[in-house]
Each structure stands twice: as structure tokens, then as C-alpha cells.
Structure 1
Amino acid sequence: MDITIKKDKITEISNITANTNSTNKAYTNDAKKGMVSKIVANGNADGVNTVSGATCSSKAIKDACQKAFNAAKK
């Protein structure tokens, strides 16, 4: 996953991939659709809810975004 941060805000999230398991791909796609635009609109992952039915994938995306955001602030 690639995360672009400019002026202390997440501005882009791309190249989100799942492992080769087709079930995981479906969950990851659901999480992408439900979260990426919200995280970008918010500027970070704080307060963005996970996607019901794709909770683990959503949490992984949210955690990665927040880690990148926190690292960029240092």
C-alpha cells in the first residue's frame, strides 16, 4: 500500500492489495471502497469507522495509514 502525506494530511492511498486468497480480496475491495475516500477526506484515519463485513481488512488499512501518518509527523 502506498500512502501520500502532504502538509500533515493523507492525500492519497493507492496500491492496496490482499493475499492471493479470493475471499480476502473481496474483503479488501470492500474495505477500500468504504474507507479510502473517508480517510483522505479526513486527512488521517482517526475517527474513520471500519467497514462492516470487512472489519479485519478495514483495520489493516486504517492501522497502516495511521502508522504512516504518525511517522511522517516525527
Structure 2
Amino acid sequence: MQSSDLELLVTRVMPFGKYKGRLIADLPGHYLHWFARNGFPPGEIGRLLAIMQELDHNGLASILNPLRKSPA
């Protein structure tokens, strides 16, 4: 994981599925854990989902809060 990955978690949206259009950082834990059990998709999205699942599982999702853009 690189520090730039953390920024991607709060800017990249889920491109498919039930939560299509939602920020990766805002995906519910049960959805992330489902991927952990069943396999992450290939490529960047899969890598970001795996990172977010690890953060969520370890109770560290709040470290992303300072990276979120404040509403203008």
C-alpha cells in the first residue's frame, strides 16, 4: 500500500454492484467482508477494496477522515 492509495479510497467510486457510485471509503463493512471471503476483483478496484476491508476490519477507517474533501 502507498499513501496515494488512501486518497484513492476517498475519491474512487464503486463501479459496479449494489453500491455502484458510492465511494470505496463509504462501503459497508459487510460488503467488504463478503469480497474478502469470496475474492476481490482484479485490478485497482480489487486492490482498493482489499485495503478498505483491512482498514474496516481493524477499526481504522477513521484515518481517512482528514483526506475527505470538505463540502464547498
Band the TM-score falls in, shorter-chain normalisation: 0.3 to 0.5
Point out the structure with the larger strand share: 1
**What TM-score do the two structures reach when normalised by structure 2?**
0.38
* Length-normalised TM-score, structure 1: 0.37
Q: Which structure shows the higher helix fraction? A: 2
